[in-house]
Amino acid sequence: MANPTEAATKNIITLKGSAKLVSEFFYYGINSILYQRGIYAPESFTYKQEYGLTLFVSDDKGVNTYLKDVLAQIKDWLEKGQIKRLVLVINSVATKEVLERWDFQIDCEATAQHNDNDVKKEAVGEKDLKLIQREMRDVIRQITACVTFLPLLDQQCAFDLLVHTDKDCNIPDSWHD
Return the ∠ at Cα 148 (arms to 151 and 70), rounded to 5°. Answer: 80
pLDDT in tens, the chain (177 residues): 444 434 343 444 445 458 888 899 999 999 999 999 999 999 999 999 988 899 999 999 999 999 999 999 999 999 888 999 999 999 999 999 999 999 998 876 544 444 444 433 344 445 677 888 888 899 999 999 998 899 999 999 999 999 999 888 888 877 765
All residues at 6 or more sequence positions from 133 whose CB lies less than 8 Å from its CB, including other chains: 21, 51
pLDDT tens digit sequence for 26-49: 999 999 999 999 999 999 999 999
Domain residue ranges in the chain: 4-165
Looking at 2.60.120.620, 3.30.450.80, 3.30.70.20, 3.30.900.10, the CATH number of the domain 4-165 comes to 3.30.900.10
